[in-house]
Structure 1
Amino acid sequence: MSSADAVTREAAWLSDYNPADSLPALHTALGGPFDVVQAYLPRTPAQRRTQLYVLRRQLREERTAHVRRMARHLFELRIIWPASSPTGSSEDPQQALDTAVGLVLERIGGLMLDKTHGGRFLSVAENPPEVTVDYTDPEPGLRDRADLRCTITYWADDTEING
């Protein structure tokens, strides 16, 4: 594994689904709330689609011993959610976004006693043990019939390497 593919590995975890593990699906093709779940932000995001993009905000290489080092990634999940509703309600899309964020948080939390995201990392959201969700003000998106947005940030520790 290389730190260069960390964003892709995390997007694969978020896209993955196994009904036996009790973690929620995130992609609509598997019964989840997001039409798009992918690594990196495209030049032109889809219109009127529920979208989740995995980005890396920071990469740190920490020396853990004389000849050992570990990459630490600060991931940002950027969520874009249409502000429209078939009923015309402004509350419905806000509640739907909150529900989707809850599912993402479950997925980030991972399996009981396994915080490696299926062996993709040494640990995720454990050092520091926090996940932050920041919502933008919904008023402009609702007024302009555009999108609601939020970001979710958390750290992932990669496997240690010699170097």
Structure 2
Amino acid sequence: MSSADAVARETAWLSAFDPEDGLPALLAAQDGPFDVLQGYLPRTPIQRRRQLYVMRRRIQEVRTANVRRMARYNFELQITWPASSPSGSAEEPQQALDNAVDLVLQRIGGLMLDKTHGGRFLSVAEDPAEVSVVFADPDPSLRGNADLTCSISYSADDIEISG
């Protein structure tokens, strides 16, 4: 494990699905809400699709002892959600986005008593024990028949290393 593969590890956790662990699927292929779930933004995002992109906004090296250090990452998930609905309702896609965000928050929260995202990190969303969701104003999107957007931010601590 290295800091260079942190986005890939978190993307793998969010994409994973085991019907026996009680956590929701996020990919549409597994009956989840997202058509696209990938690390990093593509040059040209797919239009009119439900998308979740994993990005790392910051790496902080934390010295935990004289010869021990740990990388702390600040992840940001960017969600793009079509503002249109078959019924023409403006409320329907907003509620669907809220439902999708709730499922993402469940995945970030992880398994009961295991905040490591399946051993990929030392802990996720534990120090600080905070997950933040920021929704963009839907009004411009609804008027322009564009996309709703939001971002979810949280931290992850990596395994301590000598150095």
The CA distance in 2 between the partners of 1:75 and 1:143, in whole Å, is 30
The letter for the 1-side match of 2:94 is Q
Displacement after TM superposition at 1:91 (Å) = 0.2
Q: Name 1:41's counterpart in structure 2.
A: 41
Q: CA RMSD in A?
A: 0.3
Residue 53 of structure 2: aligned partner: 53
TM-score by length of 2: 1.00
Percent identity at matched positions? 71
Structure 1 residue 8, shift from structure 2 partner: 0.6
> What's the CA shift for 1:162?
0.5
Report the alpha carbon displacement of residue 29 of structure 1 after superposing the two structures with TM: 0.3
Q: TM-score, normalised by structure 1?
A: 1.00
Shift of 1:6: 0.2
Amino acid in structure 2 at the alignment position of 1:44: T
Question: Could you give the per-residue CA deviations for residues 9-61 of structure 1, whole angstroms, max 9, x where no partner exists?
Answer: 00000000000000000000001000000000000111000000000011000
How much has 1:72 moved relative to structure 2? Answer: 0.2
Equivalent position of 1:111 in the other structure: 111
The amino acid of 1:95's aligned partner reads Q
SS state of the match for residue 160, structure 2? Answer: strand
Q: Is 1:6–2:16 an aligned residue pair?
A: no
Structure 2 gap segments, 5+ residues each: none
Q: Hey, what's the Cα distance between the residues in 2 that align with 1:80 and 1:46?
A: 10
User: 1:62 Cα shift?
Assistant: 0.7
Shift, 1:135, TM fit: 0.3
2:87 maps to amino acid: T
Distance in 1 between residues matched to 2:100 and 2:63, nearest whole Å: 37
* Equivalent residue, structure 2, for 1:88: 88
3-state SS in 2 of match to 1:21: coil
User: What is residue 64 of structure 1 aligned with on the other side?
Assistant: 64
For residue 160 of structure 1, report the CA deviation from its aligned partner.
0.3
Q: Could you report, residue by residue, the CA deviation over 1:71-105 in whole angstroms, capped at 9, with x for unpaired residues? A: 00000000000000000000000000000000000
- Structure 1's unaligned 5+ residue stretches are none
Q: Which amino acid aligns with 1:65?
A: A
**Map of 1:152 onto structure 2:** 152
SS in 2 for 1:127: coil
Following TM superposition, the consecutive aligned residue runs of length 4 or more in structure 1 with deviations greater than 6 angstroms are none
